[in-house]
Structure 1
Amino acid sequence: MKRAGILAFALWVCSGFSQATELAFLSLSDLQQVKQQLAQHRAASPTLAAWQQLQREAQQALKHPDPSVIDKGLLPPGGSKHDYLSLSAYWWPDASQPAGLPWLRRDGVVNPASKNDQSDGVRLARFSADVQALTLAWYFSGEQRYADKAQSLVRHWFIDPASRMNPNLNFAQGVPGIADGRHTGVLDGRYFATRVVDALQLLRTSPGWQAADQQGVERWFRDYLHWLQHSPLAQQEAAAPNNHGSWYCTQLAGIAWYLGDDAAVRAMVTLARGKIDQQIRADGSQPYELARTRSFHYSYFNLQALTALAQLAQKSGNGDLWHYQNAQGGSLLAALAALAPYSDPVKPWPWKNRDRVSQRIIPLLSLADNSLHQTRWESAIARTDWTAFSGSARGAVEQAQRDTWLISLPYGQKKGQQ
């Protein structure tokens, strides 16, 4: 790197990020610490590996055309391609019927027809992942090309009249022959909160971001928040006792936080306590998730939602989910303690299951330690092998490593540097 480039990068690092007050699901202080470590070439090896992977992902994102819901092949039942459309993953045509209708459920068995460009499920996941990766790459490196591309993606998806998504999920996770859209489809929108909200917070201080951009995305999210709060489909999702209900709380709370609606955040924390009442036994088990054919995945997935909301509630002063205990003695911490031993892939999982990526538990344990200023799960974090994966598990492992070591840092490491 030339001397001028080194100087510019040093100024970028030293400038910090004073214009951003806080983030919803990420820690601004952790991001600042990691950025400094990368600049000073003293990052831990898992951090460096995660940074290199993020750079590769961001480089690929630079090459992707800006996606839009209008790109899909199928026309939503409402008649507008601006409406989001997805098909429920575990439903299949009925081979005993001439037209295959109505489709039948095969829990845990993914129908490839739900994972192609004819609908929007994969497109939304790719869009939100690209926005997050590009924004983080810009934050850590200071290279404007990443921010420029992230801004372009955001404008194309949320703002531009010709390509914007209508702010609803009326036709999400539909099942041919049964329903055009179902309440379970609200789950698809979780990425708007967990990936996009914090990216928008970071991007608002990037060069090229205009007041009109800010107004446009806030308008979209206000409309979408109203849909989450008032749509009959969304209200059914709010009542769900399993991971769907947890993710509804987390999604709505993250978007409400972004819009400055503390009352809505507090309401979701209260609702989440009810989910803990319904979901978690005294021994930390989660019966709704253990009943699934992918019981490991859904046990982790439910706690991913609840730990994210617990962090947001704590940071925003809207309640304490970490220490909440239901009448039976069940709690979020009990559920994490019950799941933690299975972060070791050698320990057998005793329930029916189709897949298992043990490393996925680690970011949840690290987040709990960070939020509670403890080192309870330091040994489990330290012994994690981030190179142990096969086939489709690679992306999940890389994401878990990023969540633990790049966009956050284990509390034991931070404490050791104090």
Structure 2
Amino acid sequence: MLKILLFPFCLLYSNNLYSPIPRDSIQLFFTNFKEISNTKKLAKVDDIIRKNIDILTHEADNLFEKPLYSISSKKTMPPSGDFHDYLSMAYYWWPDSSKSDGLPYIRKDGQRNPESLKIEDSRNLNIMISMVWKLSWAYFFTENEKYASKVAQILRFWFLNPSTRMNPNLNYAQFIPGIVEGRGSGIIDFHRLPFIIESIGLISCSKFLTSQDKIGLKNWFENYLDWLQNSKNGAKESKAKNNHGSYYNTQLAICALFTGNTHVADRTFQKSFDLISYQIDSEGKQPEELKRTLSFMYSSFNLQAWLLLANMAQTRGVDLWHYHSNDGRSLAKAISYLVPFATGTKKWEYNQIKPINTEGLFGLFVVASKKFNDNKYRNAALMIEGKEDVISKLIFR
């Protein structure tokens, strides 16, 4: 089992390029520390790795010119009257053209209403996460403190500063005009939350992430974990059986691990066995995702949640990767099912109203090749590698 420290004290490290960080000095939940440390060492002799690190640091350097984004900068007031509450509109809901006022809105699956883009919180959230993710990996591979300093600044701006912080709830996520002020389904807006927590771990050795910052972040995620479990929206989303259920469990588990609530984490991992059995059939298809107008996208999207969840479960000695139901339902079959369609050797047979995008599958295939000791996944990863981002090429090898 991977040993982790909640808020480790870092004794000493070097600012020299590609210098090692001790294993017990950072807190990671779904990234393989041994593998990324080996990649970092190989950068001294491997031109491709070094080139990718150079690309990463160049991209990270460009982020220093970007403004900071916060929850309080939006122009639309949430129903609570508090700009610190997150607000978003359901993407696939449109005005009813048969009604003079368009209300209540109607659903058009897979077709994003541009009206939803007018509320900035979702966009700003994703910009913030992308910045933190890129900068924290630039810090890991170079140990240049300027990157950690910027990550800490961004985290304080979004989560801690009184004038700009987000309240730890999603009460008003994905509202639908004429129907509801916020939905349990809106919790999917935070599906990239694990990347925030992993980024905190990556810079936890830096002097720029202070003890006060660490306490404040821990408190924020404790409060969010409480909201996930005890709010009306959280309770509803906890019952979801499709990708929403997978990402709810992923958020629940990483918040629990990060805040030291191993009871909730372990309970979540144990419940996940049943979710695998429900979501995946004996052929490896995901029926709930195949109902969608973007069926390939959602099938891929759901398995990317399982990549995070299964890796997190391993830190607690729970093996979701190799679980098979009595009738053969498993993550292995679901991943195998997507391989020929992702690589273009077979044509996708279900509704997909937009072109197939394999982004995110590279890492899934690389990890699957190791977990299942099967080169077909490695070969598939190599076929789609060119479409993947530079961080994935560094942390999945």
Answer whether TM exceeds 0.5 for this pair. Answer: yes
Equivalent residue in structure 2 for 1:398, among 381, 388, 395: 388
Question: What secondary structure sits across from 1:173 in the alignment?
Answer: strand
Aligned residues of 1:19 and 1:205 also touching (Cα < 8 A): no
Q: Distance in 2 between matches of 1:338 and 1:374?
A: 14
Q: Distance in 2 between matches of 1:203 and 1:9?
A: 13
* Aligned twin of 1:121: 122
The 1:101–1:152 alpha-carbon spacing in structure 2 relative to 1, beyond 3 Å, is same
* Aligned twin of 1:23: 28
* Aligned twin of 1:70: 72
Q: Distance in 2 between matches of 1:320 and 1:287?
A: 23
* Aligned twin of 1:112: 114
* Aligned twin of 2:100: 98
> How far off is 1:372 after superposition?
4.6
* Aligned twin of 2:245: 245
| Residue identity opposite 2:388 in structure 1 | E
* Aligned twin of 1:150: 151
* Aligned twin of 1:35: 40
The 1:88–1:325 alpha-carbon spacing in structure 2 relative to 1, beyond 3 Å, is same
> In terms of mean alpha carbon deviation, does 346-355 or 234-243 score higher?
346-355
> How far off is 1:54 after superposition?
2.7
The 1:360–1:342 alpha-carbon spacing in structure 2 relative to 1, beyond 3 Å, is farther
> How far off is 1:252 after superposition?
0.8
Deviations 1:329-350 (A, max 9, x none): 2111111111111221352111
Deviations 1:7-45 (A, max 9, x none): x654x533423442541121222221222222x14143x
Identity %: 34
Q: Does residue 303 of the first structure (1) align with residue 303 of the second (2)?
A: yes
Correspondences of 1:6-405 after superposition (within 5 Å): 10=16, 13-38=18-43, 40-44=44-48, 47=49, 50-116=52-118, 118-193=119-194, 195-317=195-317, 319-355=318-354, 356-372=356-372, 375-384=375-384, 386=386, 397-399=387-389, 402-403=391-392, 405=393
Q: Distance in 2 between matches of 1:215 and 1:354?
A: 45
Question: What secondary structure sits across from 2:174 in the alignment?
Answer: strand
Q: Distance in 2 between matches of 1:203 and 1:110?
A: 36
Q: Distance in 1 between matches of 2:375 and 2:385?
A: 19
| Residue identity opposite 2:162 in structure 1 | P
Runs of 5+ in structure 1 lacking a partner? 1-7, 387-396, 410-418
Question: What secondary structure sits across from 2:289 in the alignment?
Answer: helix
The 1:62–1:373 alpha-carbon spacing in structure 2 relative to 1, beyond 3 Å, is farther
Aligned residues of 2:310 and 2:320 also touching (Cα < 8 A): yes
Deviations 1:241-290 (A, max 9, x none): 10000111111111111112221111111222121121111000111101
* Aligned twin of 1:414: none
What TM-score does the superposition give when structure 1 sets the normalisation length? 0.87
Q: Distance in 2 between matches of 1:53 and 1:361?
A: 21
Deviations 1:126-150 (A, max 9, x none): 1111111111111112222211111
> How far off is 1:56 after superposition?
3.9
> How far off is 1:359 after superposition?
4.9
The 1:50–1:122 alpha-carbon spacing in structure 2 relative to 1, beyond 3 Å, is farther
Q: Distance in 1 between matches of 2:292 and 2:52?
A: 31
Q: Does residue 408 of the first structure (1) align with residue 396 of the second (2)?
A: yes
Q: Distance in 1 between matches of 2:55 and 2:305?
A: 24
* Aligned twin of 1:5: none
Q: Distance in 2 between matches of 1:274 and 1:256?
A: 20
| Residue identity opposite 1:303 in structure 2 | L
The 1:314–1:18 alpha-carbon spacing in structure 2 relative to 1, beyond 3 Å, is closer
Q: Distance in 1 between matches of 2:86 and 2:236?
A: 19
> How far off is 1:122 after superposition?
0.9
Aligned residues of 1:90 and 1:105 also touching (Cα < 8 A): yes
> How far off is 1:378 after superposition?
2.1
| Residue identity opposite 1:83 in structure 2 | D
The 1:169–1:31 alpha-carbon spacing in structure 2 relative to 1, beyond 3 Å, is same
Deviations 1:56-81 (A, max 9, x none): 43223211222110001110011100
What TM-score does the superposition give when structure 2 sets the normalisation length? 0.91
- RMSD of aligned C-alpha atoms? 2.0
**Count, aligned residues:** 384
> In terms of mean alpha carbon deviation, does 166-175 or 26-35 score higher?
26-35
Question: What secondary structure sits across from 1:169 in the alignment?
Answer: coil
Question: What secondary structure sits across from 1:126 in the alignment?
Answer: helix
